[in-house]
Amino acid sequence: MDTLAQLAHGFSVAFSPVNLLWCLLGTTLGTAIGVLPGLGPALTIALLLPITYQVAPEASFILFAGIYYGAMYGGSTTSILLNTPGESATIVTALEGNKMARSGRGGAALATSAIGSFVAGTIGTLGVAFLAPVVVKFALSFGPAEYFSLMVLAFITVSAVLGSSAVRGLTSLFIGFVIGMIGVDLQTGQPRFTFGLTELLDGVDVIICAVGLFAVGETLYVASRRYAGKDEIVPLKGSLYMTAQEWARSWKAWIRGAFIGFPIGAMPAGGAEIPTFLSYAVEKKLSKHKEEFGTVGAIEGVAGPEAANNASAAGVLVPMLTLGLPTSATAAIMLSAFQSYGINPGPLLFTTQGNLVWGLIASLFIANVILVILNLPLIGLWVKLLKIPAPQLYAGILVFSTVGTYGISQSPIDLVVLYLLGAVGFLMRRFDFPTAPVIIGMILGPLAEAQFRRAMTISNGDWTVFFTHPLSLTLLVLAFIGLLGPHIWGYVERRRLKGQEAVPGDA
Amino acid sequence: MSVHDEPAAPRGVAMPELLIGLGMLAAAGAVLWQTLAIPVSPLYSKVGPTVFPYITTGGMLVLALLLIKAAVQGGWQPEEEKETPTDWKSMAFIVAGLVANMLLIGPLGFTAASVIMFVLVCYGFGSRRPLRDLGMGLVLSLAAYFGFAKALGVNIGAGFVEDFANGAITTVASWFGA
């Protein structure tokens, strides 16, 4: 009952006219950037970080959360009509959604994805409201050693387990660590990794890092690949009203997708891709219309993954708010927004910043309602955004990148760092290194270091503290299994299949 | 959930991937050099500011060696990435736009530098109407300057274009005010 009372209070915060306007602005902006290829929620929130100096924390987090949810809705429109996933989490939506659009059922695909996003987003947000206080109770018993081990587990799952290659994921993570360590060490005041440059004493701003990797790197990549086939927009055909049969095929997939997505998102591993793939596999297996998968497009194959995607996006907020543990690039940038206010997300956030947390959660419910309205009756508006030609779109992204970067301190050095990171981002994109671990490593690395040093100080420099605390040990063992488990498994399998061709390990 | 991108047949050393591995090795070296340069106070000798940098150096070293090993064994690029030719000309125009922006933003101000970048980037992406792009770039940059930067309270360098626009706005405002 306590949760309900808190939530009711949260609604009183979120329903203030100003906060409703922020929510409307965030969801509109989020849908727009979700629709536009090349722009994502992580980049957009990074560019808007300076707003934290201007408005109250409630307002900026309601704005950011609206962008975050909105991008999930908008991304599916691009996937369905353009077959170019606007967001990595909507890759699966493109599989069936684009087939449906090509066979003249684009309207139904958009409808099931928007309503499915609403259903799953609402279930997911309810999940946040009811699960978060439970996690908080649990987390209050954590000491620095447990926090450090939990962060190690998150590092491993985010970079090594979820991507296409553990080595490349970890490489990205370690690059993030180095970027995060640049500047003055907060405990001792010693400058680190500054190469003698006074400009680097303050560290590399997360805005520069996100803009460099996501905007400049992406623009260079798209430019280098210009000849690689043009995507055509499938004109929106078919009524947005779903038939009774389409409803019947959709609603179970929404519910299943939500229950697949939320728990995976809420784990300290995160990632929206895995639940969407999982939901797709489940729907394909359970469907009575298997022949439609991959041919004319099956509506379950859109409904399930879209729901999973939105529910896991909500789930990611649980470790972010209760443990201060971001598991996606967007969550990591939101964490830096908390830091900008001098607020530390963690178990105490729910008592010290009740207005903020519950106002934010309540605004997520409102955002879902606004988004389903924005994305169904007003869908024609967003389809028009897809017609912005690539040259002007990417040139415009670079102009806004300059505003975001140069605005920090009017230093051309910042632009040099931005372009260097852009070159790194281009190479990473070109050679299949994930970029999200860089941002996570950069934000979470210094926090992990602080917890590590705190734990070591408490234990008087005794390294075994991480192994003698049972919970800390469990988390480290899990991390170890996550890192080496697949390799040991692969080795055993290879031994069993001995005689067949030797398989080189993955990189 | 690691997906093994296994080569179909044993291949030779993949040069681009090898360079990336060597680059990572060089980066690990640079990190080690900078770690050794961190002055350590004896007060913090137990867990001082260098413990994490050393751990990071070690991790980077191992990862660099694993990347080099993968490169020697044929690399990891997906086939379709390798088969797509890189459009160097297009990239050169983007880079030219970025460099022009960096060099000109100080002397000319944000809007003028951004317009030049906008036109160059559009050209790099295949637009062949630079005059139209110039107009669009000007409108967008001014919108970014007055909408985004002013609303966020971000201070971006004003140049002659902004001064002119500011002057025009003040003049127009004074007409209505009078």
Tell me which amino acid residue A74 is.
G
Place of tokens 């004896």: B42
| Interface predicted TM-score of the whole assembly (ipTM), two decimals | 0.86
Mutate to test the interface with B, among A162, A402, A419, A438 (most CBs of B within 10 A): A402
Q: Check CB contact under 8 Å for B1 and A431.
A: no
Mutate to test the interface with A, among B22, B31, B56 (most CBs of A within 10 A): B56
Q: What integer pLDDT is reported at residue A488 of this predicted model?
A: 80
Say whether pLDDT at B33 is over 70. yes
User: Any chain A CB within 8 A of the CB of B6?
Assistant: yes
Provide the 3-class DSSP secondary structure of residue A422: helix
Residue numbers in B near A227 (CB within 8 A): 84-85, 87
Nearest to A31, CA basis, from A88, A82, A80, A69: A69
Q: What integer pLDDT is reported at residue A338 of this predicted model?
A: 94
User: Any chain B CB within 8 A of the CB of A167?
Assistant: yes
**How far is the C-alpha of A90 from the C-alpha of A273, rounded, in Å?**
8
User: Any chain B CB within 8 A of the CB of A248?
Assistant: no
**How far is the C-alpha of B6 from the C-alpha of A505, rounded, in Å?**
8
Here the tokens at position B76 are 């990891």
Residues 118-157 of B with CB under 8 A from A: 118-119, 121-127, 133, 136-137, 140-141, 144-145, 148-149, 152-157
Of residues B6, B53, B90, nearest to A226 (C-beta): B90
Chain CA centroid to CA A172, Å? 16
- Tell me the sheet residues that pair with A191: A184
- Tell me the sheet residues that pair with A171: none
CA torsion through residues A144, A147, A152, A153, sign: positive
CA distance B160 to chain A (A): 16
Q: What integer pLDDT is reported at residue A489 of this predicted model?
A: 80
User: Any chain B CB within 8 A of the CB of A463?
Assistant: no
Residues 35-94 of A with CB under 8 A from B: 48, 50-51, 53-54
Q: What is the DSSP string of chain B?
A: -PPP---SS-----HHHHHHHHHHHHHHHHHHHHHHTS---GGG-SS-TTHHHHHHHHHHHHHHHHHHHHHHTT----HHHHHSPP-HHHHHHHHHHHHHHHHHHHHH-HHHHHHHHHHHHHHHTT---HHHHHHHHHHHHHHIIIIIIHHHT------HHHHHHHHHHHHHHHHHH-
Q: Check CB contact under 8 Å for A415 and B101.
A: yes
Cα maximum dimension of chain B: 81
Q: What integer pLDDT is reported at residue A270 of this predicted model?
A: 63
Least confident piece of the model among A317-321, B36-40, B54-58, B70-74: B36-40
Q: Check CB contact under 8 Å for A431 and B78.
A: no
The one-digit pLDDT tens for each residue of chain A (507 residues) are: 588 889 999 999 899 999 999 999 999 999 999 998 878 899 999 999 988 888 999 999 999 999 999 999 998 888 888 877 656 677 888 888 888 988 888 889 999 999 999 999 999 999 999 999 999 988 888 999 999 999 999 999 888 876 678 899 999 999 999 999 999 887 788 888 888 888 888 889 999 999 999 999 999 998 888 755 556 677 776 677 788 888 888 999 999 999 999 998 898 776 677 888 889 999 989 888 888 888 888 999 999 999 999 999 999 999 999 999 998 899 999 999 999 999 988 888 988 888 899 999 999 999 999 999 999 888 888 888 888 888 999 999 999 998 888 888 888 888 999 999 999 999 998 888 989 899 999 999 999 999 998 898 888 878 888 888 889 999 999 988 888 877 788 778 777 776 544 444 443
**How far is the C-alpha of B78 from the C-alpha of B80, rounded, in Å?**
6
CA distance B176 to chain A (A): 30
Q: Per-residue pLDDT averaged across B17-33, rounded?
A: 93
User: Taking all residues of chain B, what is their mean pLDDT, rounded to a whole number?
Assistant: 83
Tally the C-alpha atoms within 13 A of residue B40's C-alpha that lie toward its C-beta: 15
Chain CA centroid to CA A471, Å? 27
A454 class by beta-carbon count within 10 Å (0-12 exposed, 13-18 middle, 19+ buried): middle
Residue numbers in B near A38 (CB within 8 A): none
Say whether pLDDT at B177 is over 50. yes
CA–CA distance from A116 to each of A85, A287, B153 (Å)?
Answer: 18, 17, 38
CA distance B163 to chain A (A): 17
Q: Check CB contact under 8 Å for A402 and B114.
A: yes
CB atoms within 10 A of CB A465: 19
Here the tokens at position B21 are 């591995």
Q: What integer pLDDT is reported at residue B1 of this predicted model?
A: 38
Nearest to A487, CA basis, from A183, A165, A58: A165
B57 phi and psi angles, rounded to 5 deg: -60, -45
CB atoms within 10 A of CB B174: 9
Q: What integer pLDDT is reported at residue B45 of this predicted model?
A: 55
Please give the interface size between A and B, counted as residue pairs whose CB atoms are below 8 Å apart: 237
Neighbouring residues of A204: CB distance < 8 A, sequence distance ≥ 6: A179, A182, A183, A417, A442
Q: What integer pLDDT is reported at residue A145 of this predicted model?
A: 92
Nearest CA in chain B to A405: B156
User: Any chain B CB within 8 A of the CB of A228?
Assistant: yes
Of residues A174, A181, A407, nearest to B156 (C-beta): A407
Q: What angle do CA A331, A345, A480 make, to 5 degrees?
A: 65
- Tell me the sheet residues that pair with A498: A500
Mutate to test the interface with B, among A49, A171, A200, A456 (most CBs of B within 10 A): A171
CA distance A187 to chain B (A): 8
Nearest CA in chain A to B42: A188
* Element at A184 (helix H, strand E): strand A183-184
**How far is the C-alpha of A59 from the C-alpha of A64, rounded, in Å?**
9
Q: Check CB contact under 8 Å for A174 and B4.
A: no
Mutate to test the interface with A, among B125, B145, B146, B150 (most CBs of A within 10 A): B125
Tally the C-alpha atoms within 13 A of residue B126's C-alpha that lie toward its C-beta: 11
- Domains in chain A: boundaries: 2-227+238-494
**How far is the C-alpha of A258 from the C-alpha of A255, rounded, in Å?**
5
Place of tokens 């907060």: A186
